Amino acid sequence: DAKTTQPPSMDCAEGRAANLPCNHSTISGNEYVYWYRQIHSQGPQYIIHGLKNNETNEMASLIITEDRKSSTLILPHATLRDTAVYYCIVRATPGYSSASKIIFGSGTRLSIRP
């Protein structure tokens, strides 16, 4: 799996949009961008994933640059419960062969201030 680079920490005011960047300049054509988050002392939680088009779900939006070398996770209206470590991961398409392992980087520790 390709390596990703994320800022170690960020903070955001409650109610504002939190924009978390991720660089993945060595991503391969068949690799997706996945985002997970981990709230303190819990298991990781899936947020969103995408290949090249922008994606949106009830939790967040994912913006992938045209060259696919970077992406941004957007939490549109951050709340205190969004305080967590956010991991950006690139991995091969699951499902068509055996499940591919997920290698976690250091992630971004997002703090939401009241």
Q: Which is nearer to other proteins, 67 or 99 (CB)?
A: 99
Choice from 8, 42, 53, 66 touching other proteins (CB under 8 A): 42
Identity of the residue, 29 or 43, whose beta carbon is nearer to other proteins in the bound complex: 43
Residue 57 is a binding residue for other proteins (CB under 8 A) = no
Query: DSSP of the chain, one letter per residue?
Result: ----B--SEEEEETTSPEEEEEE-TT--TTEEEEEEEE-TTS--EEEEEESSS-EE-SS-EEEE-TTSSEEEEEETT--GGG-EEEEEEEEEPSSSSSPPP------EEEEEE-
103 binds other proteins (CB under 8 A): yes
Question: Applying CB under 8 A, does 87 fall inside the site for other proteins?
Answer: yes
Q: What residues line the site for other proteins (CB under 8 A)?
A: 36, 38, 41-46, 85, 87, 93-107
